[in-house]
Structure 1
Amino acid sequence: MVKQTIQIYARVKPLARRQQAGIYSVSEDEKSVSSLEIIVPRDLADGFVNNKRESYKFKFQKIFDQEVKQDAVFESIAKPVAECALAGYNGTIFAYGQTGSGKTFTITGGAERYSDRGIIPRTLSYIFQQLEKDSSKVYTTHVSYLEIYNECGYDLLDPRHEASRLEDLPKVTIMEDPDQNIHLKNLSLQQATNEEEALNLLFLGDTNRMIAETPMNQASTRSHCIFTIHISSKEPGSATIRRSKLHLVDLAGSERVAKTGVGGQLLTEAKYINLSLHYLEQVIIALAEKHRSHIPYRNSMMTSVLRDSLGGNCMTTMIATLSLDKRNIDESISTCRFAQRVALIKNEAVLNEEIDPRLMIIQLKKVIQELKDELAMVTGEQRTEELTQEELLQLDEIVKTFLEDPDPESMLDVGADMRKIKHCFNYVKVYSDTNTSEKKEELKKLRDLLHQRDNEISILYVTGFIWV
């Protein structure tokens, strides 16, 4: 079991040409904890008496400033979580921030340059590279891609066709078992045997994503998207199987509805987004409070799906994406405050091991058969069914190996089945008879050879070729 708080990171988006930079600074202390200080100068129009706060300080595990590249983000954030997933622990990485702050670029990446690949494609590449190196286990990898739009779930990897509208995709619903485990009905699991297949599935899912234009961002995602990598591993011959899942989450933008400047359908979407993020914040606050008996996971689909990731069996990492231009300072401060609350949550990640039910059934059948054989020996009950040809050949090989073994302490163990024991006795008898016949034949040959040599010696003596 691994106990740790949710790891929080911050990433500052580079400013566009027309954006005016806000005042901020990044520093690092002796314990390698990064600090972000945001300065908000007082407005002189408010008068001489102005108690408005000027400085805001926040601490993160690491802060990625504007010039940091995608590969550095992956190495620091995603690679450790991917390694834990390969070892059998659940993992989650989610990006949180306002629209246009770089969440989708960080999680999925840009399409223009290969170096702009985000966390998802880089994680897929890393996982399959590690699987190719490890020949000690048999791995199976599946992926799923869920979009939550207006509190409705949709399967982005529907195998039947590429959808022209979101409504064409299968609708995903949440089901809960008696143990409070969440199951997603109609969410397909697509097997990926190599990196190329996995990336093709990612491309299909991204093609089906719902994109719209808003004044804040010309390509703003209007939904939450959860890309999940499912990994199972098993050593050959072992009945123990490890299963882990790695959630890579791109949350929708978090900003005030009035600031988005939208209406109609887009206004409805913004309200649903803010409502689900509000429920996420409620869950975060509840988890941070001690002695809180009820955590409101069921209030939204997203918090239900991410139940394990928030205060459960998971190693979770959050990336706070920030757009530190003057116009978005307030939203950036709000994002940092949310991240500080997330950092208070403690998760307990356990190794996900279970017994393969198919192998367990085979083992139990074998044990039952052995017990039946022992019971038949005690009661004297005779089994009427004959041994198969394969069983007879296997017994012959076992007895032959035993008889030819020079070790005097070797044992012959064929179980408590009287049919097998009788067959072994018969084999030994035939083997002994065969060996006896062969030895008699060899002795006769030696005697005949000795008699022939005696005759040859007598002839030589009579003819005088041998002098006494």
Structure 2
Amino acid sequence: MVKETIRVYARVKPLGRRQQAGIYSVDNDEKSLSSLEIIVPRDLADGFVNNKRESYKFKFQKIFDQEAKQDVVFDTVAKPVAECVLAGYNGTIFAYGQTGSGKTFTITGGAERYSDRGIIPRTLSYIFDQLQKDSSKVYTTHVSYLEIYNECGYDLLDSRHEASRLEDMPKVTIMEDPDQNIHLKNLSLQQATNEEEALNLLFLGDTNRMIAETPMNQASTRSHCIFTIHISSKEPGSATIRHSKLHLVDLAGSERVAKTGVGGHLLTEAKYINLSLHYLEQVIIALAEKNRSHIPYRNSMMTSVLRDSLGGNCMTTMIATLSIDKRNIDESISTCRFAQRVALIKNEAVLNEEIDPRLMIVQLKKEIQELKDELALVTGKQRTSELSQEELLQLDELIEAFLEDNDPDSILDVGVDMRKIKYCFVHLKVFLLNIAEAGEEELKKLKELLQQRDNEISILYEEKNNIWV
């Protein structure tokens, strides 16, 4: 069991041409947590006397500034989680931040250059590279891609996506078993035997994502997406199987509805996005409180799916993406505050091992046969599951002789064969039951005889009294 708090990182997005830089400073101390200070410039419109807070400081595991490369982010954030998943633990990496702050670029990456690959493709490459190197186990890998759009779940790897409207697609629904484990109905698990197959599935899912143009971002992702890598491993000849999964989560943008500057169906999308993120925040706040008994996971689909990742059996990491320009300072501060609450949550990751029942049956049958062979070697006889007719007759004679022997110290010796011992016990039990039944019959006859004698005495007594009268 590995017990630790959720690791929280921050990444600052490079500024665009027309954006005015906000004032911030990064202190990446290798020995301790890194700190980010954001300065809110004094607004003259608020008057000469301004009591508003001007400086905000936040602590992170590490802060990636504007120049940080994708490979550095992967090595620091995702690689340790991927290693744990390969060892049999569950893992989750999720990006949180406002629209246009670089979440999708961090998680999925850019399409223009190979070096712009994000955490998902780099993780797939790393995992399959490690699986090829490890010949001591047999590995099976599957992937799934879930989209949560307007609080409804959809399978991004469903082949009908291109031919059907979203409303006509089968919805992914949540089912809960008696042990409170979450199962997703209508979410397909696609097997990927190599990196190329896994990447093709990722590209297929990305093509089917809900994307729209908003004033905040030209290609804004309008849904929460969870790309999951499922890994099963087993050593040859062993009955123990390890199951682990890695959730790679790209959340939709978090910002106030008024700031999106949208209307119609985009406004509806923004409301659903904010509502689900609000429920996520409620869960985070509840988990951070030590004495809280109820955690509201069921309020939204996303928090239900990520139940294990938040305060459960999982190694979880968060990346807070920040857009540090003057217009978005307040949103960046809000994202950092959320990240600080996430950092308080403790998870207990457990090694996910189980016994394969089919292999266990084969192993037990083999063990039984070996024991039979050993017994035959010691006794000089090949033992069958049933006693032979000759052995049964011999046992009947031994039991009869034992019962007729008046010596209280006599013993019934049938050896160490459990089949013979069980037969003797059954035989003796039947014998005792027959004696008890015979005794009850004899007692019944004696009672009837006694009643008959009582009746005769009563008659004689009455006759005697009549004579005297």
CA shift at 1:5, angstroms? 0.2
1:347-386, aligned counterparts within 5 Å? 347-366=347-366, 377=383, 381-382=387-388
Identity among equivalent pairs (%):
91
CA shift at 1:368, angstroms? 6.4
Distance of 2:63 and 2:51 partners within structure 1: 29
| Residues 1:266 and 1:137: Cα distance change in structure 2 (over 3 Å) | same
Instruction: Confirm whether residue 254 of structure 1 aligns to residue 269 of structure 2.
Output: no
AA of the residue aligned to 1:129:
D
The equivalent residue for 1:117 is 117
Distance of 1:248 and 1:107 partners within structure 2: 7
Instruction: Confirm whether residue 312 of structure 1 aligns to residue 318 of structure 2.
Output: no
CA shift at 1:163, angstroms? 4.3
The equivalent residue for 2:105 is 105
1:40-51, aligned counterparts within 5 Å? 40-51=40-51
**Structure 1, unaligned runs of 5 or more:** 384-415, 418-468
CA contact (8 A) 2:288 2:341 kept: yes
AA of the residue aligned to 2:228:
T
CA contact (8 A) 1:162 1:204 kept: no
Instruction: Confirm whether residue 12 of structure 1 aligns to residue 12 of structure 2.
Output: yes
| Residues 1:319 and 1:161: Cα distance change in structure 2 (over 3 Å) | closer
1:263-321 Cα offsets, whole Å, 9 max, x none, are 11111111110000000000000000011110000000000000000000000000000
CA shift at 1:221, angstroms? 0.5
CA contact (8 A) 2:28 2:63 kept: no
The number of residue pairs the alignment matches comes to: 385
CA shift at 1:96, angstroms? 0.1
CA shift at 1:30, angstroms? 6.1
Distance of 1:331 and 1:162 partners within structure 2: 35
Distance of 2:76 and 2:285 partners within structure 1: 27
1:187-336, aligned counterparts within 5 Å? 187-336=187-336
CA shift at 1:141, angstroms? 0.2
The equivalent residue for 1:341 is 341
Aligned-pair Cα RMSD in Å? 2.1
AA of the residue aligned to 1:254:
S
The equivalent residue for 2:55 is 55
1:134-149, aligned counterparts within 5 Å? 134-149=134-149
1:370-449, aligned counterparts within 5 Å? 377=383, 381-382=387-388
The equivalent residue for 1:400 is none
Distance of 1:368 and 1:238 partners within structure 2: 17
TM-score (norm 2): 0.79
CA shift at 1:362, angstroms? 2.2
| Residues 1:26 and 1:238: Cα distance change in structure 2 (over 3 Å) | same
TM-score (norm 1): 0.79
CA contact (8 A) 2:161 2:208 kept: no
1:77-111 Cα offsets, whole Å, 9 max, x none, are 01110010000000000000000000000000001
Q: Secondary structure at the match of 2:172?
A: strand
| Residues 1:234 and 1:381: Cα distance change in structure 2 (over 3 Å) | same
**Structure 2, unaligned runs of 5 or more:** 377-381, 390-417, 420-469
Larger mean Cα displacement after TM superposition, 374-383 or 201-210: 374-383
1:108-156 Cα offsets, whole Å, 9 max, x none, are 0001111110000000000000000000000000000000000000001
Which contiguous aligned blocks of 4+ residues in structure 1 show a shift greater than 6 angstroms?
Answer: 368-376
| Residues 1:223 and 1:160: Cα distance change in structure 2 (over 3 Å) | closer
CA contact (8 A) 2:160 2:169 kept: no
The equivalent residue for 1:427 is none
Distance of 2:59 and 2:53 partners within structure 1: 18
| Residues 1:360 and 1:54: Cα distance change in structure 2 (over 3 Å) | same
AA of the residue aligned to 2:216:
M
CA contact (8 A) 2:229 2:246 kept: yes
1:118-197, aligned counterparts within 5 Å? 118-159=118-159, 162-163=162-163, 165-197=165-197
CA shift at 1:199, angstroms? 0.4
CA contact (8 A) 1:158 1:170 kept: no
